[in-house]
Amino acid sequence: MSEEKNTLTNAAGVPIPSNEVSRSAGKYGPLLLEDYTLLEKMAHFNRERIPERVVHAVGSGAYGTFTVTDDITHLTKAKLFSEVGKETEMFVRFSTVAKSKGGSDIYRDIRGFAMKFYTEDGNWDLVGNNTPIFFVRDPMKFMDFIRSQKENPQQNWRQDEMWWDFWSLVPESIHQVLWLMGDRGAPMGWRHMNGYGSHTFSFIDADNQRTWVKFHFKTDQGNKFFTEEQWMHLQGLEPRWATKDLYQAIDEGNYPSWTLHIQTMTEEQAKSFPWNPFDLTKVWPHADYPLQRVGRFELNCNPENFFAEVEQAAFSPGNIVPGISWSPDRMLQARIMSYADTHRHRLGVNYDTIPVNTAHAAKVNAPYRDGLMRVDGNNGSRTNYHPTHHDYPKADESIIPPPSPLEGMADRVELDENDHADQARLFYKMLDEDEKKRLVKNIAGSLGKCMDIIQKHQIALFREVDEDLANRVSTAMGSVQKPKIDPKPGTV
Ligand code: NDP
Ligand code: HEM
């Protein structure tokens, strides 16, 4: 009856007598403790916020469909790639990295590109970025890197000096720093940027043979970017420019799409690759490892409720499906643990039963039970231990990946190949003159605000990459003003 009349109820489904006026002792007297309607309303509101993501707190997402366009069944037995034309439902969340919730989504930063494929074999999460590389290659440095990008612990605003302080002392960051400070560091919203799995992953075929693989999602809208002046202006007018752009495009039926390409490398080729093929600060050159088209996804459905579906979305590099696996990339190895761990903190131990996170095309038959907010059937009366003479689901040994050869002593061995400038140089040389000019201007505008010692260290790193780059940045920094608040309060 409540439903038919659209009556407002409390959380127990009981109609509420008023949504506007509290129960009081007469017109001017105090409120009554028995006003459960008011108490429940306030109590629920007080608990509306959950912890924000420790990184990538600002973002938006949408549902879509992935379609296979080219056969790769010789490389992987993953069911989502099993035939040309096959469609798999997806959820994708785009994000910025450093700003806290409430921040703008069109400033200069790396963009997150997190994809959840609801496959018949369970969910595959490819939690990538809009760059094929990263700032560090050992997870021990991740927390420090992120802190250098977020607010100063005393003053509570982000400071260019903290970024360059860290980067100038971590040479492996130089390739990604050039990316970030170049055109692709300020993409024109989520629709006009590529996505990358970034790490090396592995494909496992039907004969249990392994091939190393990298994933590239090229935007079908074309890569577009904002100049420094444009994003600074626009984020004042509409701090959620990217969120709005994506939502409106989908709402108008102008569905954005990306084409999936892969690069593959045999285990034999990996041995002679000039760099460590599992080093996240390196790409595999296209000329040697050409892109092969595999499929395309389009985003065609906006979420009905942002909190339920986007804020509560939980992606994990730990979620792989038979036919797809990890590599020894140290960063990836750490991420296998980190995401599910943070989800248990952010969303609770049963985060994977939230509708956006649960498997849509496979039956979940996990051994887990109980815990806070267990709202499904909790495996009913099924025996809750194993082994048992009663019915109990069986593990599937056919999905055990091929064994990996290992060598070396267990130790803290640094990846100290001293090759940080190699690919940064390839990157700089690839840019045309206008791109170089914008890159130098962006770097100088930011590095120019920093202490001399930081500038000196960073210029030395640029010099290892390219003499011309170092000289141009040094010259351009000459005209940069140190930070000040402008306009000063009281002057306008
Ligand atoms: P190629 O010259 O074969 O290809 C260059 C790639 O760089 C293209 O994918 C292009 O993307 C992309 N690109 C073009 N302009 C920019 C820019 N301003 N910022 C970032 N990327 C850009 O490259 P190689 O494979 O020989 O590698 C050379 C350098 O290119 C690397 O150091 C790397 O930084 C960069 N790169 C390499 C990629 C790889 O996986 N090999 C991927 C992306 C960049 P698009 O075609 O989408 O326009
Ligand atoms: C989010 C950890 C490197 C892409 C996160 C979150 C954590 C985290 C804790 C918050 C997750 C949440 O609350 O939902 C780490 C660690 C890393 C690492 C420990 C390295 C050791 C990377 C790399 C990439 C990446 C290399 C991309 C290639 C993302 C994305 C998100 C994210 C896209 C947002 C996911 C979403 O939209 O919900 N990361 N990260 N991270 N990370 Fe990482």
Give the DSSP H or E segment for 218: strand 210-219
Q: How far apart (Å, rounded) are the C-alpha atoms in residues 250 and 256? A: 7
- Identify which of 126, 133, 62 has the alpha carbon closest to the alpha carbon of residue 92: 62
Q: How far apart (Å, rounded) are the C-alpha atoms in residues 157 and 155? A: 6
Give the DSSP H or E segment for 259: strand 257-265
| Closest C-alpha residue for ligand 2 atom 27 | 128
Asked if residue 84 is part of any domain, the answer here is: yes
435: Cβ below 6 Å to ligand 1? yes
Measured from the Cα of 199, ligand 2's closest atom is 28
User: How confident is the model over 228-275, as pLDDT tens digits?
Assistant: 999 999 999 999 999 999 999 999 999 999 999 999 999 999 999 999
User: How confident is the model over 365-405, as pLDDT tens digits?
Assistant: 999 999 999 999 999 999 999 999 999 999 999 999 999 98
Centroid of ligand 1 to alpha carbon of 287 (angstroms):
11
Asked if residue 238 is part of any domain, the answer here is: yes
Whole-prediction pTM value? 0.97
> CATH number, domain at 331?
2.40.180.10
Asked if residue 265 is part of any domain, the answer here is: yes
Centroid of ligand 2 to alpha carbon of 356 (angstroms):
18
Tokens of 48: 């509306």
- Tell me how crowded residue 11 is: count the other CB atoms within 10 A of its CB: 9
DSSP symbols for 21-64: ---BSTTTSPBPTT-HHHHHHHHHHHT---PPPSS--SEEEEEE
ipTM given for this complex: 0.97
Q: How far apart (Å, rounded) are the C-alpha atoms in residues 78 and 320? A: 10
Asked if residue 59 is part of any domain, the answer here is: yes
Asked if residue 261 is part of any domain, the answer here is: yes
Peptide bond into 317 cis (omega under 30): no
Asked if residue 355 is part of any domain, the answer here is: yes
426: Cβ below 6 Å to ligand 1? yes
Among 213, 275, 286, residue to substitute to test ligand 1 (most atoms within 8 Å of Cβ): 286
User: How confident is the model over 342-372, as pLDDT tens digits?
Assistant: 999 999 999 999 999 999 999 999 999 999 9
Domain count within the chain:
1
Peptide bond into 487 cis (omega under 30): yes
pLDDT value at residue 405: 86
218: Cβ below 6 Å to ligand 1? yes
Measured from the Cα of 219, ligand 1's closest atom is 47
Tokens of 23: 């129960």
Query: Three-state DSSP class for 15?
Result: strand
Annotated binding site for heme: which residue ranges? Answer: 339
**Which single residue is written with the structure tokens 């690919």?**
423
Segments in the chain below pLDDT 50: 1-2
Asked if residue 318 is part of any domain, the answer here is: yes
Which residue segment(s) compose the domain that 46 sits in?
Answer: 24-150+186-377
112: Cβ below 6 Å to ligand 2? yes
| Closest C-alpha residue for ligand 1 atom 33 | 427
Tokens of 234: 């626009």
Asked if residue 141 is part of any domain, the answer here is: yes
